[in-house]
Amino acid sequence: MNDIPQIVDSHCHLDFPDFNDDLDQVIDNARAGGVTRMVTIATRLSKVAPVRAIAERFDGVFWAAANHPMNVADTEMATVEALLSLAEHPKMVGIGETGLDYHYTVESKAQQIDSLLIHIEAARQSGLPLIIHSRDADDDMAEILTREHAAGAFSCVMHCFSSGPDLAETALGLGFYLSMSGIATFPKSQAVRDIFAAAPVDRILTETDAPYLAPPPHRGKRNEPAHTALTARVGAELFGMDYAAFARQTSANFDRLFTKAA
């Protein structure tokens, strides 16, 4: 295993029911494939406990938490104080995923924006990176991130980036990172690959969003952290790098952003 390049799955959901029966094997699979660190994400602050417990149980597994934008209409609004309290945990490394989703839940747009602003303030005060989910909300997301960053700096990753080039340009201009998921490996995702290829390689992270978005040859099946390597091989090709060099670069990028997990 020492000869396998080490890489990071910067975003997965190990508490989801998909992993109830074989989580130990999933972690073993990841490590065998060189995925030595993972960040598992709580999508509701009311369900932090199992996510935190997974991070406490496994070496190399860290966690982050937020109210996901698709959940804000049916859950209690987050508070900055609650997020800062969670951030005191030694393996809690990010604030998210928060953001805007107008594809499935545009009816809760106002609540999503309110929630996003709370999470941004928690990222500012904690010094932890913000983890952004954005779908069909490019203009609002670009405006909010630009305005809020000018009001007080914070670090950020655009998780599972599949938005347009203008939002990518805005995010990169603010010093943020773009995270590459299995979407970048899909045959019809050339536009997404072009956006990544035009970005600075020192602002790229890798992720699975497991159990979703499995890259080929596993598309349509359960995704898991071990498959980070399949997405990263596509990333290496985009940047004209060998896989080991791309793995080192994206791991260094992760360390720079997620300093508590470095």
**Res 3: pLDDT:** 85
Residue 61 predicted with pLDDT over 80: yes
Assigned domain for 174 exists: yes
Q: What is the DSSP secondary-structure string of 153-216?
A: ---EEETT--S-HHHHHHHHHTT-EEEE-GGGGSTT-HHHHHHHHHS-GGGEEE---BTS-PPT
Assigned domain for 1 exists: no
Assigned domain for 191 exists: yes
* Percentage of residues in the chain having pLDDT higher than 70: 99
CATH of the domain at 168: 3.20.20.140
* pLDDT tens digits, 236-248: 999 999 999 999 9
Contact (Cβ atoms closer than 8 angstroms) between residue 227 and residue 210? yes
Encoded tokens for 124: 């500012």
What mean pLDDT do residues 70-87 have?
97
**Distance from C-alpha of 219 to C-alpha of 217, rounded to nearest angstrom:** 6
Residue 252's closest CA among 180, 210, 204?
Answer: 204
Encoded tokens for 15: 């508490």
Q: For 115, phi and psi rounded to 5 degrees? A: -65, -45
**Res 2: pLDDT:** 60
End-to-end CA distance of the chain: 20
* pLDDT tens digits, 173-203: 999 999 999 999 999 999 999 999 999 999 9
Assigned domain for 143 exists: yes
pTM recorded for the entire structure: 0.97
Contact (Cβ atoms closer than 8 angstroms) between residue 160 and residue 179? yes
Encoded tokens for 156: 């950020």
Distances (CA, A) of 262 to 232, 244, 252: 19, 19, 9
* pLDDT tens digits, 21-48: 999 999 999 999 999 999 999 999 999 9
Residue 1 predicted with pLDDT over 80: no
Assigned domain for 156 exists: yes
Q: Note down the domain range covering 138.
A: 7-261
How big is the chain, counted in residues?
Answer: 262
- Averaged pLDDT of the chain: 97
Assigned domain for 34 exists: yes
Assigned domain for 2 exists: no
**Res 225: pLDDT:** 98
Contact (Cβ atoms closer than 8 angstroms) between residue 80 and residue 103? no
* pLDDT tens digits, 84-101: 999 999 999 999 999 999
Instruction: Please count the structural domains in the chain.
Output: 1
